[in-house]
Structure 1
Amino acid sequence: MGDNQISAGRPAYLSAGRPAYHFIAPKGWMNDPCAPGYDVKTGLYHLFYQWTPLSHRWDKISWGHATSKDLLHWSHASPETPAIQPDQDYDREGIFTGCFWPTGLRGEDQLSVFYTNVDALPLHWTLPYTRGCEGLAVAVSSDRGQTWIKSDANPILSEEPADMVVTGFRDPFLAAWPAMDSARGLEDGRLYGLISGGIKDVGPRTFLYEVDPADLTQWKYLHPLLRVPTNHRPAGRWGGDLGVNLECTNFLSLAADGAERQVIITGSEGGKPRPTAPTQKEAPERTPRYASWLMGTLEERAGEIDLATSASGMVDWGDLYAGNTFKHPDGRTVLWGWVIEECLNDAALEAKSWTGCLGVPRELFLATYDGVTGALASKMDEVRSFEVLSTSDGVCTVATLGIRPLTELGSLRGEQLFHAEFFDGDRLAIADASPLACMINATFDITDDTDEVSIHVRHSGDYSTATRITFYPKRETIVVHRDASNGASDIATYDEEGPMTLLRTDGGIEPLRLQVFLDHDVIEVFANDRFSLATRVYTSSEITGVSYTRKGAARVEELGLWAMKATQ
């Protein structure tokens, strides 16, 4: 038998098992996180997810439901039965993504979830898009989330705004937005809703509604938001392609050091394919999706409000998609996202019997930096994922969207298996056999003479099988090299990569700080609290080496490896 096959016919690369500390459905297919929220009366966090419990494929999608006291350990409402199922004429084809609200529809002591009701699916999901029949519906709970009853008012919205031909109309998001009140010249106190989609032959859009706080069934359409052309890339190489149709759009207000910015988080369909390394002919093709963010201020234009974008980037440069946010009770903004699983063919997914999971919860914040004189290779005003807030004598204060793993994940660290400081060599063996669930923290000093620094994971003794996470300072890029992660001809092993630079100040180049979360076949890479990349690596569970290498001048300031505790 080859490295990737075992006698039972189950591929060896599937023997690693289910993720141990990433959120995953009890069984079957799962995709988008839905309706994350917090119930102050019970102290429980709520999280729903799109779920097909009886198949490894997407089909007649429903909502599963789980609750937690700490955002780490989750109790599923049922391992077999979805909490909200397509059982009405208006949602007979599926319960798509939605949002949470901590009261009843008219302020009652209830919980509410809004969702996309689908009564007819698209003829096809690829370009040119042919939309299905999607609307807005709501379910409420009078027992703090144990059971959910669909409202007699459904569907709240049965179709898109009049006189439009849309490419999509789904994924409601609801929240207060004082900055929008202010931009409209109104007092605070309104609620705003977004429905994601696009206008055929015009471009991607999200549709803005004013929602009556006293009656959440009343959604009044205002106008489109994010009026951009098809395949718009507002940040060039530093951001994503907004494609043809938007999905799962959220708005946030973030502030730091006297600056406040409005942030739009959105997914996009129909973008141009991402550049990838050559992959196997038999492997599945990648669906072009981008998980983007845009930052700026709200401005009035011809009687409508839109985002004047000052910086843009990607929430994740790999496979994390369909981001959905909520406000933590302490004020932090927490994002969940779906880690797509499309590198395996259908037979391999069926052998696994589950498909998809969520990434680790992430905190989004406004990150500001003072005393900046430039980036590694680019001029500061060329790095369009940063906004230059001020400049004096060539020294800048800059801002970007901060993205980092939720602090609470530190409580899942188990035994520390390796620790090193001030290592100045070319190669460092970290572990011959690391746990399948572990994490790495590393800080590196980078110079202008650094060609690359790499952390190798899931590698064999001779490195013939390996995944390499590499930072290339001169290219200002992080790459997860997956080409040697598996030799099977039907697994996609293209490189995953995204732009990442370090900031220069009068004190020198900021250190590179990497966090790598490994959980069976899931890998998530975070850098300097502003870069993230989630992907999957299908490598035999016996191959678990970890090591560090460099080319050119670089030094390990500190590096640690920890086992991670299971949460399910």
Structure 2
Amino acid sequence: MAHLSRRPVYHFIAPRGWMNDPCAPGYDPLTGRFHLFYQWTPHSHRWERIAWGHATSKDLLHWAHDSQDMPALKADTEYDKEGVFTGCFWPTGPKGEDALTVFYTNVWEAPHFTKPYTRGCEGLALATSADGGKTWNKHPCNPIIAEEPEGLNVTGFRDPYLGPWPAMDRARGTSGRLYGLNSGGIHGQGPRTFLYDVDPTDLTRWTYLYPLFRSHSARSRPGGKWGGDLGLNLECTNFVTLSAGDVEREVIITGSEGGAPRPRGGEPRYGVWVLGSLEGEEVDLDISAAGMVDWGALYAFNTFLHQGRRILWGWLIEEDLSDGILAERGWTGCLGVPRELFLASYSGVTGTLKSKVADVGSFEVLPSGEVVTLGMRPLPELVHLRGSHISQAISLGGSHFRCEAARACTIDLVVEVTDGTEEVALHVRQSADGSTRTSISFFPKEEVIKVCREHSNDRADIVKTTEEGPFTLLRFSELERLRMTVLLDGDVLEVFANDRFALSTRIYSPAEATGVAYEHKGLARVEHLDVWEMKAAQ
């Protein structure tokens, strides 16, 4: 297997062992450093009594890990003896002192990873650092929330998120409050996230208000085929306020488990976003659009706000390899590249490739005709990791192109699509004879992007199902261009389209398969195709 697998070099990855959710991303203004924690089992390729690793950065690109094998927070007290689960960051001490605070789910009874998704005894705890994040001490008041709200039969209660939410203040008639979420669900009712009022002068005081998503039953799908399944239980829920001009919308980003099976196989997890406004006496989100943060394997999102930008991290799940292969390799999982979230706004839209604009569940159409949706793109700073310009094609006259690329590279593609275009395909990790390849294809008439992994290798013991998600182009006075960015890094593949579609996955290919090839069927024209080498970040 060694010749088929490579560690990523510009995606964030633990020094060794198993890693999953990004935890507590944030920025310390006193030191000018970004902090990022992650779920970590340093001495095993498997999830075991999870702890937190910790890394810092000055630029969100280059990261220094605290330790190669020692967690920053581990399961070492009675109240978290079974695990230190996912959490969030706050840039002061609990009472405003010069310190850093992280909140986490403390687990004191062995988790049971079986349906209906009850994980054991979970509460809320915090730890602080008075030395800029070098050392962390658990708070003497832990756990600050001992268990789920009284009287609720929950499917889960974990993954705290904390922040100011001015729109919630306005809806409740309050001001200057902080708000906390814990994710989960209620048996017999559906997925929920539990809302808390948090005292900004004392972060140990969380007062339960009520659950959000109260109008949604189990396995509801507010965006239809353009969105994700809310399943039975929510995880890692964040709230975000985004604006474009005079339009402001609240966005809730969450993971769900227990939904309908997905074409990609594996556990039926969905990385969902919903957009709308806060309404009602007991405030809830009135959803006007919904979609997927990622149509592939990226999950467990965590966000933070820095200098007016909302930045998102996600865990790139690795479940296509057998336990034996993972044991031989010695590491499992990494994070996707950081993404910038924004409210995308389009004026003058007259239609899409095929669907009616009003039928696209990930779009909200305003009375003015303006269309808004959640926008997402790789963090622009990633261009600073570009190395040599491997290849470039401008106004490509034909329908075919091929070059050799590095194992770590990025590809930018702009194509003029027409109503006569049948398929636009980019083949990556292609062997010289073309027999080995992974194909990223846009089918305009079907309004779908597919990543076909069937020919990525010849191993029968590696899962190679096709990943796919719905995507369409907008019509203005003319049809917008297809603008695609593809990130390749070791086994990682991330695909972005027109700043509103993303699909991340894993491909395992022979080291000698480094070709990048382009082709289209039907009438289309390549405006730009650029391939850049990417430099290591860790």
Normalized against structure 2, the TM-score is what?
0.99
| 1:119-176 Cα distance to aligned partner (Å, 9 max, x none) | 11333x2323333100000000010100000000000001100111100000000000
Correspondence for 2:210: 223
C-alpha distance in 1 between matches for 2:475 and 2:367: 16
C-alpha distance in 2 between matches for 1:471 and 1:150: 50
C-alpha distance in 2 between matches for 1:57 and 1:490: 18
Counterpart secondary structure, 1:120? coil
Point out where structure 2 has 5 or more consecutive residues left out of the alignment. Answer: none
C-alpha distance in 2 between matches for 1:179 and 1:46: 27
C-alpha distance in 1 between matches for 2:106 and 2:77: 9
Match of 2:338 among 361, 380, 389: 361
Counterpart secondary structure, 1:390? coil
Counterpart secondary structure, 2:225? helix
C-alpha distance in 2 between matches for 1:463 and 1:481: 14
Tell me, yes or no, if the aligned pair for 1:424 and 1:554 is still in contact at 8 Å: no
Aligned amino acid, residue 550 of structure 1: H
| 1:4-55 Cα distance to aligned partner (Å, 9 max, x none) | xxxxxx45312xx210100000000000000000000100000000000000
Tell me, yes or no, if the aligned pair for 1:500 and 1:531 is still in contact at 8 Å: yes
Counterpart secondary structure, 1:371? coil
Match of 1:299 among 272, 279, 295: 279
Tell me, yes or no, if the aligned pair for 2:223 and 2:362 is still in contact at 8 Å: yes
Match of 2:3 among 12, 29, 40: 12
C-alpha distance in 2 between matches for 1:189 and 1:352: 49
Matches within 5 A, 1:54-453: 54-123=43-112, 125-186=113-174, 188-227=175-214, 228-276=216-264, 286-300=266-280, 303-328=281-306, 330-391=307-368, 396-429=369-402, 431=403, 433-453=404-424
Tell me, yes or no, if the aligned pair for 1:51 and 1:64 is still in contact at 8 Å: yes
C-alpha distance in 2 between matches for 1:289 and 1:195: 18
Normalized against structure 1, the TM-score is what?
0.94
Tell me, yes or no, if the aligned pair for 1:390 and 1:398 is still in contact at 8 Å: no
C-alpha distance in 1 between matches for 2:434 and 2:94: 58
C-alpha distance in 2 between matches for 1:243 and 1:384: 18
C-alpha distance in 2 between matches for 1:162 and 1:299: 25
Aligned amino acid, residue 290 of structure 2: S
Aligned amino acid, residue 119 of structure 1: W
Aligned amino acid, residue 20 of structure 2: N
Tell me, yes or no, if the aligned pair for 2:82 and 2:111 is still in contact at 8 Å: no
Q: Aligned pairs, how many?
A: 537
TM-aligned CA deviation for residue 560 of structure 1: 0.3
4+ runs deviating over 4 angstroms: none
Tell me, yes or no, if the aligned pair for 1:267 and 1:322 is still in contact at 8 Å: yes
| 1:301-346 Cα distance to aligned partner (Å, 9 max, x none) | xx31000000000000000000000011x21000000000000000
C-alpha distance in 2 between matches for 1:356 and 1:258: 40
C-alpha distance in 1 between matches for 2:128 and 2:3: 45
| 1:356-385 Cα distance to aligned partner (Å, 9 max, x none) | 000000000000000000111000000010
| 1:221-252 Cα distance to aligned partner (Å, 9 max, x none) | 00001121000100111000000000000000
Percentage identity across paired residues of the two chains: 61
Counterpart secondary structure, 1:347? helix
C-alpha distance in 2 between matches for 1:130 and 1:242: 16
Aligned amino acid, residue 290 of structure 1: Y
Correspondence 1:526 to 2:522: no
Computed over aligned residues only, the root mean square deviation of the Cα atoms, in angstroms, reads 0.9
Tell me, yes or no, if the aligned pair for 1:63 and 1:83 is still in contact at 8 Å: yes
Counterpart secondary structure, 1:509? coil
Matches within 5 A, 1:503-542: 503-506=474-477, 508-542=478-512
C-alpha distance in 2 between matches for 1:83 and 1:129: 27
Point out where structure 1 has 5 or more consecutive residues left out of the alignment. Answer: 1-9, 277-284
Correspondence 1:24 to 2:13: yes
Tell me, yes or no, if the aligned pair for 1:20 and 1:519 is still in contact at 8 Å: yes
